[in-house]
Amino acid sequence: MSLTLVSVPIGNSGDVTLRALESLKNATLYIGEERKPMFRLLKELGVATPSHYELLNEHSSQQEIQSLAELCRDQQAVLVTDCGTPGFSDPGAELVHECRKQKIAVTANPGASSLTTFLSLSGVKLPQFDFKGFLPRETSEREIFFKALASYKTPVIVMDTPYRLKKTLAQCEQFLPNKNFVLGLDLTKPNEQVASGSIKNILKQYSGGKQEFLLLIH
């Protein structure tokens, strides 16, 4: 059989594609990051609760990934992330690699992506940029990262978990006071917000809550 990477909405369920819905409804095996978010997503999209599902996340071992690939050989499998495009800043790439290694067909249903959505809303012309993905967890590693950015010339896009947004902005104020920023919050959701300018201007517009975000530093 095969593995299909299915891009799902990043906030607004209306952004799902027709191909994604077809793949989800026809699947015999569902692979997601966590059970609860995956089941909630499928319910929102009108897809029946799956009888066969497996989990793939940062805790999955290489042996578990190999076993998942073997399951894909006999199933019409779909891989979804909690939101957006699978294989992008999640362990999906390792499963794709293993499936290819085992000569199992892999295809993708393109769709919603937090990065491309953010880029289109940024209002900044970026002929090139560095995507750094998720910031380090440890404070000492984060400080090293932000200090290095102070003299970095190429625009950089970072992301992090919602509960570290406040800390991220505080570190930008501390280490990058002379940089310009674009902050995208809860993209495609009713409370979507995009703020730009100096870090002081960003902080004036930020309410202090926990929100999904991407941050452009340039």
Dist. CA 47–CA 109, nearest whole Å: 16
* 146-168 residue pLDDT tens: 999 999 999 999 999 999 999 99
Tens of pLDDT, residue by residue over 8-21, are 999 999 999 999 99
Distance between CA atoms of 32 and 50, rounded to whole angstroms?
A: 11
Q: Pick the closest to residue 11 from 189, 212, 130 (CA basis).
A: 189
Rounded to a whole number of angstroms, the CA Rg of the chain reads: 19
- Helices 92-101 and 62-74 pack at an angle, to 10 degrees, of 60
The answer to whether the beta carbons of residues 24 and 47 sit under 8 Å apart is: yes
- Show the tokens assigned to 62: 């290489």
- Which domains, ranges and CATH numbers included, belong to the chain? 2-109 (3.40.1010.10), 114-217 (3.30.950.10)
Pairing of strands 105-109, 53-55: unpaired
Q: The tokens 């959505």 sit on which residue?
A: 117
Q: What is the pLDDT of residues 39-95, one digit of tens each?
A: 999 999 999 989 899 999 989 999 999 999 999 999 999 999 988 999 887 889 999
